[in-house]
């Protein structure tokens, strides 16, 4: 891996326009197997047959069985053979735009450098779990492609933003709307001068940040180390500029009170938090939390001693992790504890109430981490607590993929 360029064009595998709406699917890690099976029912073209191929077997089939990965590969090749998917004639960049309501987010699909990732030029802010890395490694190896892009952040580049504005003023190659009312638009950038501009301008900046997709990136780096080929030296990513990114809250439900009574738990909280009952379920500013306990909502404001001055110490999610989840509820390993669940903000307070009531535990809602906080943590080579950021809207699977091995004939576009 000798190429230092952070982003490069690539021969993308994309849906033929007539099939795009049928192919596009939610990312594999936001659906349960049962939800995916229901969504893909009667749609053989859904990318869920590749990203969650356990849906093609009997219920309760483990997604980690060999036959599931092999089925994903078979389904992927079938879509290529039947021209549901195709590739571009030459290495290109791609404009990937998401629109939800008044929010427009315009980015670029790129082939990101594993070397830059290993050198810290593509910066991380979370640890990964080996079991999830192993899953992505096996998926990529068996399918022969990276089918889920990592979500990256770059600081603004005026010349690229102008180029994207000009391109998106034209009709997209295809446009699909998902179940969350997000419209996904794709354009191909195949002009040599535009490709050179993108590659060179990002090379000057020479830094990016992982927003979502730490496991995909880590898996790609493991495969690159094993194979050391040109096809695996880069990984699939879509990057957006920081001023267009939108982070939602990432909330927590703990299934028990760590053997404390309700009264004991509330008393322990009041050592570091001011508590009041509230009808407002979501925090309205940094430093405030809301808590759902025994069918009532509380507002929590931190009044304890500052944890420090570094970027991680200042995060609301870190205050909750240390002062409540660890000190009071005894959850010291957020990545592996079976006593806690994490609820993305898009699911709302109703999901917090439902899960909390099922377990008779306690739920917490947080004010969203900001993009600037994420960048500050990454720039200081620090790590956030797990599940600190929920990015919305989310990239769809199936919109664009990247081959990593030439084990089958790929149909190219005319």
Q: Model-level pTM?
A: 0.88
- Whole-number pLDDT of residue 411: 47
CATH no., domain 248-389: 3.30.1760.10
**Separation between Cα atoms, residue 20 and residue 175, nearest integer Å:** 8
C-alpha closest to that of 123 among 225, 205, 203, 207: 207
- Say which residue, 150 or 228, is predicted with more confidence: 150
- Whole-number pLDDT of residue 246: 86
Lowest mean pLDDT among 91-105, 111-125, 273-287, 333-347: 333-347
Mean pLDDT across the stretch 81-106?
A: 95
- Whole-number pLDDT of residue 335: 82
- Whole-number pLDDT of residue 368: 94
**Separation between Cα atoms, residue 129 and residue 149, nearest integer Å:** 18
Residues 6+ apart with CB under 8 A from 260: 268, 328
Lowest mean pLDDT among 28-32, 172-176, 255-259, 274-278: 28-32
pLDDT bin (cut points 50, 70, 90) of residue 413 is very low
pLDDT tens column, 182-210: 999 999 999 999 999 999 999 999 999 99
pLDDT bin (cut points 50, 70, 90) of residue 4 is confident
Mean pLDDT across the stretch 19-24?
A: 97
Lowest mean pLDDT among 222-231, 264-273, 320-329: 222-231
Alpha helices in 311-347 (DSSP H): 316-320
Chain region(s) in the chain for CATH 3.90.1530.10? 7-246+392-403
Q: Which CATH architecture has domain 7-246+392-403?
A: Alpha-Beta Complex (3.90)
pLDDT averaged over every residue in the chain:
93
Of all residues in the chain, the percent with pLDDT exceeding 90 is 86
- Whole-number pLDDT of residue 131: 87
* C-alpha torsion 255→260→262→263, nearest 10: -160
Lowest mean pLDDT among 136-140, 176-180, 403-407: 403-407
C-alpha closest to that of 149 among 414, 409, 399, 412: 399
- Whole-number pLDDT of residue 229: 84
Mean pLDDT across the stretch 362-389?
A: 94
CA separation, residue 161 to residues 46, 143, 156, 190, 243 (Å): 32, 34, 8, 17, 11
- Whole-number pLDDT of residue 406: 56
- Whole-number pLDDT of residue 408: 47
Chain region(s) in the chain for CATH 3.30.1760.10? 248-389
Lowest mean pLDDT among 92-96, 213-217, 260-264, 363-367: 213-217
């Amino acid at each position: 891996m000798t190429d230092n360029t952070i982003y490069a064009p690539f021969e993308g595998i994309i849906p033929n326009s007539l099939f795009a709406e049928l192919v596009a699917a939610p990312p594999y890690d936001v659906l349960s197997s049962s939800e995916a099976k229901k969504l893909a029912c009667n749609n053989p073209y859904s990318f869920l047959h590749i990203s969650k191929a356990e849906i093609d077997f009997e219920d309760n089939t483990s997604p980690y069985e060999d036959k599931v990965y092999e089925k994903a590969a078979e389904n992927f090749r079938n879509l290529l053979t039947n021209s549901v998917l195709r590739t571009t004639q030459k290495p290109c960049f791609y404009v990937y735009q998401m629109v939800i309501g008044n929010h427009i987010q315009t980015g670029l699909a790129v082939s990101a450098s594993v070397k830059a990732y290993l050198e810290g030029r593509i910066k991380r802010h979370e640890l990964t779990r080996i079991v999830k890395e192993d899953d992505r490694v096996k998926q990529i190896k068996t399918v022969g492609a990276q089918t889920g892009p990592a979500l990256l952040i770059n600081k603004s580049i005026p010349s690229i933003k102008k180029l994207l504005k000009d391109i998106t003023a034209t009709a997209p190659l295809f446009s699909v709307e998902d179940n969350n009312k997000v419209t996904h638009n794709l354009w191909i950038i195949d002009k040599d001068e535009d490709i050179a501009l993108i590659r060179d301008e990002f090379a000057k900046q020479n830094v990016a940040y992982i927003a979502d997709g730490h496991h995909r990136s880590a898996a790609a780096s493991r495969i690159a180390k094993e194979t050391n080929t040109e096809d695996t030296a880069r990984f699939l990513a879509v990057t957006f500029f920081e001023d267009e990114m939108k982070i939602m809250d990432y909330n927590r439900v703990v299934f028990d009170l760590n053997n404390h009574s309700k009264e004991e738990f509330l008393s322990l909280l009041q050592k570091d938090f001011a508590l009041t009952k509230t009808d407002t379920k979501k925090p309205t500013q940094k430093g405030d939390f809301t808590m759902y306990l025994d069918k009532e909502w509380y507002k929590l404001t931190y009044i304890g001693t500052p944890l420090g001055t570094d970027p991680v110490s200042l995060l609301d999610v870190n205050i909750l992790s240390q002062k409540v989840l660890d000190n009071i509820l005894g959850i010291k390993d957020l990545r592996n504890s079976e006593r806690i669940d994490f609820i993305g903000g898009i699911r709302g307070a109703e999901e917090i109430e439902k899960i909390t009531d099922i377990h008779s535990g306690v739920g917490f809602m947080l004010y969203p981490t900001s993009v600037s906080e994420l960048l500050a943590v990454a720039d200081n080579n620090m790590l956030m607590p797990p599940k600190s950021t929920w990015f919305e809207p989310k990239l769809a699977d199936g919109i664009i993929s990247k081959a990593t091995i030439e084990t089958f004939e790929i149909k190219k576009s005319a």
